[in-house]
Amino acid sequence: MTADRVFWALFIALLSDVSALPPSPAKINSFALTKHVRFKHFKFTKKVLFKNAPSSFNDYHEDFNLNLLFVADHSMFEAFHELALHDEFSAQYALQQYLRGVFEEMRVIYNRLIFFKDRRINLHLSGTFIARREDDCPLKTLQGELRKDLNETNFDDDYSAGNDSDSTVMSLSISALDAVNRVHVWIRKFAHLLPFHDHVILLTKFDLLSSRNDSATQGMAYVGAMCALGDSSSVVEDIGGLTTAVIAAHELAHSLGAYHDGSGEAKDCHRTLNYLMSPVASGTEDSRSFANSLLLSQCSTKQIENFLRSKQSACLRKRVASKEKHKVKKAVDIEQTNKIRPGEIFDKNRQCQLAYGPHYGVCLSTAIVVPLSA
């Protein structure tokens, strides 16, 4: 068995037997966050290196740094398992690369956003977790464990991206509100086993249902919950590729304090301008309107800046140590894979299957269908 297979087997075993393990609190010092987890004769160590960072916004004059943990639920694994012709490890490898691809698209989106005239929010991938077993899926959290204090935090409504409800991979459904709270419970339960993170993004193939019990919702997150363990998380319905990344970027902005354009504090920014925080994303042939979908309106920018000034955003005011000083050893195959773009790993035919199901593919016909006149 390869080292990679041993690692995943042990990590899954850790999740299944977590009740027998006492929580291992993080050790914090001036330069690193270190976490130790023991399982039988094995010891896992996770270390993230930082420089000292001031907790006060007024003393901090650099870019903000946000660590994302990507989680793929069991429905995502099943979809990739089918595409990989039921090869379990090929499915896991492909799904992990897909998560990295979605992260990279999100990173590019946020790299274009400027706050306080010259500062950015830099996204970093703290890790990925794939629920290969149904019992490890966050959305399987017992109903009785769900939180009862929902009205303690402001909740924004749903985000619609016009998904085709007939998709073969969206046969299961769950309340978006229920889903995001199940994720909160799961994070708190396994926090001592998960990589250090500021926000968790869970991707699912479940059809997320709105409060009206329709399929318009594609994502859900608390507003202004960044840095709060458990609450700082998003649930995103995987539509495929860039669309999924845009939805995830939208939900992340909610967690950073932004509401929908055209409502509440953002009432002065019209929703039809199609900015990232529009409640409904629509396809358009207008180049400017399309470009807006990857940008924030002035209202959203102001709301996020207000949040970044607050004490609640303290976890983002960290100076990441220089990569040159702290090089991380990587396996050769991972190092080579990282040089390949996601579009090279997932060609257009594979992306079509990820979005609509294994029986779909790119249309090879060049015939033009002309509708009959009435």
Are 271 and 160 in contact by the 8 Å Cβ rule? The answer is no
Which residues are 155's β-sheet partners? 222
Is 326 marked as a binding-site residue?
no
Known catalytic residue at 251: yes
Q: Rg for the chain (alpha carbons), in Å?
A: 21
Choose among 80, 117, 88, 71: nearest CA to 5: 88
Is 359 marked as a binding-site residue?
no
Pairing of strands 199-204, 64-72: parallel
Cβ contacts of 239 within 8 Å, gap of 6 or more:
161, 163, 218, 247, 355
Three-class SS state of 98:
helix
DSSP 5-41: HHHHHHHHHHHHTGGGS---PPEE-SSEEEEEEEETT
Is 184 marked as a binding-site residue?
no
Question: Phi first, then psi: what are they for 371, rounded to 5°?
Answer: -65, 145
Are 122 and 66 in contact by the 8 Å Cβ rule? The answer is yes
Q: Please calculate the CA angle 199-203-209 and round it to the nearest 5 degrees.
A: 105
From the list 251, 285, 324, 344, the catalytic residue is 251
Q: What is the DSSP letter of 314?
A: G
Q: At what angle do helices 241-255 and 88-111 cross, to 10 degrees?
A: 60
**C-beta atoms surrounding 191 within 10 Å:** 15
Q: How many CA atoms lie within 13 A of 151 on its CB side?
A: 0
Are 132 and 75 in contact by the 8 Å Cβ rule? The answer is no
Cα 147 off chain centre by? 21
Cα 249 off chain centre by? 8
What single letter denotes the amino acid at residue 348?
Answer: K
- Element (H or E) spanning 245, and its range? helix 241-255
Residues marked active site are found at: 251
Known binding residues are 250, 254, 260
Known binding residues for Zn(2+) are 250, 254, 260
